[in-house]
Amino acid sequence: MYYIVESEKSFEQAATDLDAAVKRNGFGVLHVHDIGATLRGKGVEFANQCRVFEVCNPNQAAKVMATDMRLNMALPCRISVYTEGGKTHIGMIKPSGILSALSQDAGLKIIAQEVEEKTIRMVDEAK
């Protein structure tokens, strides 16, 4: 259900490289949530770094919602760069797992697999 890689890069470099990989693969970065900074800014002790990238391919998203509008709640895809145990990780929950849990539509399985291949490529390129 998860796809997670460990990176030898610093947290900042992995985040920068993920941003570039997303764009190279025909997706856009809609927003980046800096969860670590947000928690610390609210006075919560949180030692790790964590940025969640919301990424989207508009054509694929439109196909998903044309099939079942309720699936807008599963969009956009999210890829995280985070630290744990002193190491940098890049990971995501696989789109095929999410959509198969929400719909049995055969067309959606194909779309989810296409998106999953691209998002895994992005993670691997940023590694």
What span, in angstroms and rounded, lies between the C-alpha atoms of 16 and 1? 25
What CA–CA distances, in Å, run from 49 to 45, 59, 86?
Answer: 12, 32, 10
pLDDT value, residue 46: 96
* pLDDT above 90 for 8: yes
- What is the pLDDT at residue 63? 95
pLDDT digit string, tens, across residues 36-89:
999 999 999 999 999 999 999 999 999 999 999 999 999 999 999 999 999 999
* pLDDT in the model for residue 22: 98
pLDDT tens digits, one per residue of 80-116: 999 999 999 999 999 999 988 999 999 999 999 999 9
Rounded to two decimals, what is the model's pTM?
A: 0.94
Domains of the chain: 2-126 (3.30.310.70)
- The confidence score (pLDDT) of residue 100 equals 87
Which residue stretches of 44-94 are H helix? 58-67
Cβ pair 3, 90 in contact under 8 A: no
